[in-house]
Amino acid sequence: MEWLRPAGIGIAIFIAFYLGKDAISRFHIMGPFVVMLMSGTVAFESLILGEVASEKIGYKLNRVLLRDGVGQ
């Protein structure tokens, strides 16, 4: 998953420079693609991979800390 972000941003920058005529048009091409790529990969990682991804980075899921404190 981590390799997808830099590769996608590199492709977005290449397409922006290929299609854009000036800096403003390049930014308008590149901006939405970078935002969609970053938010899409983060959403996929959190929704689909969830606990596996959090354990991989060393985060230990503690259900006691996730309670909202009602009834205590």
Q: How far apart are CA 61 and CA 54, in angstroms?
A: 8
What total of structural domains would you count in the chain? 1
pLDDT in tens, 8-44: 999 999 999 999 999 999 999 999 999 999 999 888 8
pLDDT-based confidence at residue 62 (cuts at 50, 70, 90): low
Q: What is the pTM of this model?
A: 0.65
In a domain, 33, yes or no: yes
In a domain, 23, yes or no: yes
In a domain, 32, yes or no: yes
Q: How far apart are CA 64 and CA 67, in angstroms?
A: 6
In a domain, 27, yes or no: yes
Range of the domain at 20: 4-66
